[in-house]
Amino acid sequence: MYKLCDIRVGSLVRVNELFLKGLMRERMLALGFTKDALIEVIRKGPKDNLTVFKIRDTMIALRKEESSLILVKGI
């Protein structure tokens, strides 16, 4: 298992677990970060602080603080 923030650009992974709570957890679930959802890492920003992900045919940018709380596994 890996944190989403540690995955390299171009990799494809599946969501395993969310360590988010409250409104942030609800937001991520609404965006499609549900168990076994496929995520592709598209691009990383300067200093790896912001990363663009493709999930369910939608591009989403997350900060490192947010993506470090999402546990993923390889496919």
Residue 17 pairs in a beta bridge with 71
Q: Which two tokens stand for residue 62?
A: 């997350």
The enclosing domain of 24 has a CATH number of 2.30.30.90
Q: What are phi and psi of 37, to 5 degrees?
A: -70, 140
For residue 25, give its domain range: 2-74
Total domain count for the chain? 1
Q: For 24-45, what is the mean pLDDT?
A: 95
Q: For 64-73, what is the mean pLDDT?
A: 95
The four Cα atoms 15, 57, 75, 40 give a dihedral, to 10 degrees, of -80
Q: Is 51 helix (H, G, I), strand (E, B) or coil?
A: strand
**pLDDT confidence band for 27 (50 / 70 / 90):** very high
Q: For 4-33, what is the mean pLDDT?
A: 95
Interatomic CA distance for residues 1 and 15, integer angstroms: 10
Residue 22 confidence (pLDDT): 95
